[in-house]
Amino acid sequence: MTPDWVKDAVFYQIFPDRFYIGQGPAGQPAPVQSAFEAWEAPPTLRGFKGGNLWGVIEKLDYIKQQGFNALYFCPIFASTANHRYHTSDYFQVDPILGGNEALRCLVEEAHRRDMRVVLDGVFNHCGRAHFAFQHIMENEAASPYLDWFHIYKFPLNAYSKHPNYAAWWNNPELPKFNTANPECREYLLSVAEYWLQYGIDGWRLDVPNEIDDDDFWREFRRRVKARNPEAYIVGEIWDDASRWLQGDQFDAVMNYPLGRAILGFVGADALDKDLAAKSGLGRLESLGAMACHHRLEDLFRRYDWEIVTAQMNIMTSHDTPRIFSILRGQTERVRLAFAMLFTLPGAPTVYYGDEIGMAGGHDPDNRRGMIWDESRWHKSIQQIIQQMSALRRSLPALRRGRYQYLYAQDGHLAFARTLEQSSVVVTINASPEPWRVNIPLHGVWPRGGQAVDLLSGKSGRCAGGYLEDGVLEPFTLAVWQAHE
């Protein structure tokens, strides 16, 4: 079984250094208060802007107002990098982010608002400032931590372009752990357990496929679930994840394939394919309605339904260009992509700033400081996310209902979400022309009666097994409910 709460979750992904600078208690949040990169300046690979967890706490009410009830954080542990994937101490929240006390307060305040907190676990590699790696640098073969890594030769070329030890993507800043070593293994598993004591609600696992050891992840699951059976374990796997989703390792994965299908369908000829191709998204394909449906149905059939409804459905993140830029600033397509995301099985996930239409290309440009000047927000994007989140909360069928194909042609797609005796029908017009809806219902509703679009309030007619008379404007979506 997957955690039940995830089926009701709407995730907001936060890159802590770029979200908000909070004040925190006296003497907090950090040992440094200045010398940060200007918030509005283009982000650099090495620069810190000073966002922290106290800032997230100050903005929890804003986040909840947008319709989000779960937070997924990029790494927060002590690190020499602004993104904090170069971990130096797994038992210490980075002092610049506010330290352990800030996390304790954040979890408490989030839970008080019925919001969940998921942290990023980087267990494949650490930063070269990690104590065990530093110990080897100082003591070489005499270090008792020698077997925690894959060392080829001494002295270590830790600041060379050609490291003589195993490193992630051969980056000398990121020595790879030897998870086959029992002591190293126990250390990493104890990290996973430790932060559950702080009340976190789960782990997002960074590049877990690079720990090519199913027994490690099985043990990880046993230890985590023993502490909290409802903890969420979600892996960063960009493509087929069947190996890890057999019920004994992860609960779910970041569902980029679903995001690619949405972007391909809604974006069509507007996609900036060259921009996307330089990221993990790869070269996006323009998709007609039937091709999009086939992609979606394949994903829904590939995994157990428990897993499908717990997937972290994601279109863009800190590892991709922003959706506003991928769709070339076409706000109506951005709105439709998000609306569609909220109607499909799985937990919708939005990268900070995408809800207000922030632009951004490749790393580090996709990690700009959050815009807090409301006059610069694309409020129509914000409004559709708020509206779709509220609709999802009010309709159990959108959170747990089965997906049933109804119609697909050109830029027009229709499907039903059915839970027990309750069904809603979703019609999507991803074309630049109005669409007069006339689609077969395939027994979803009785043959007669009326239907109402819960977003616009417009009425449609159910006659002869068809839903008809509802006109959908270009790049819009309707969620129909039968109305006696």
Q: What pLDDT was estimated at residue 221?
A: 98
Q: What pLDDT was estimated at residue 139?
A: 98
17, 120, 173, 206: the active-site residue? 206
Q: What pLDDT was estimated at residue 140?
A: 97
94, 120, 201, 236: the active-site residue? 236
Q: What pLDDT was estimated at residue 484?
A: 63
Phi, psi torsion values for 141, nearest 5 degrees: -65, -15
Instruction: Identify whether 186 is a catalytic site residue.
Output: no
Nearest to residue 323, comparing CAs of 372, 378, 376?
378
Nearest to residue 107, comparing CAs of 198, 225, 190?
198
DSSP 420-468: TTEEEEEEEE-SSS-EEEEEE-TTSS-SSSEEEETTT--EEEEETTEEE
The DSSP output letter for 413 is E
Residue ranges, comma separated, of all CATH 3.20.20.80 domains in the chain are 4-124+179-394
Q: Is the CATH number 3.40.630.10 carried by domain 4-124+179-394?
A: no
Locate tokens 């600041």: which residue?
Answer: 159
Q: What pLDDT was estimated at residue 102?
A: 95
Pick out the chain residues at pLDDT < 70. Answer: 26-31, 484
Residue ranges, comma separated, of all CATH 2.60.40.1180 domains in the chain are 400-483
Query: Which is it for the CA torsion 481, 477, 279, 325, positive or negative?
Result: negative
Residue 473: count of CB within 10 angstroms of its CB: 13
Residue 49, Cα to own-chain centre: how many angstroms?
Answer: 22
Q: What pLDDT was estimated at residue 26?
A: 66
Nearest to residue 289, comparing CAs of 260, 314, 308, 268?
268
Q: What pLDDT was estimated at residue 34?
A: 75
Locate tokens 């976190």: which residue?
Answer: 200
Instruction: Identify whether 210 is a catalytic site residue.
Output: no
Q: Is the CATH number 2.60.40.420 carried by domain 400-483?
A: no
Lookup: tokens for 242: 């069947």
Lookup: tokens for 29: 């949040």
> Taking the CA atoms of the chain, what radius of gyration do you get in angstroms?
23
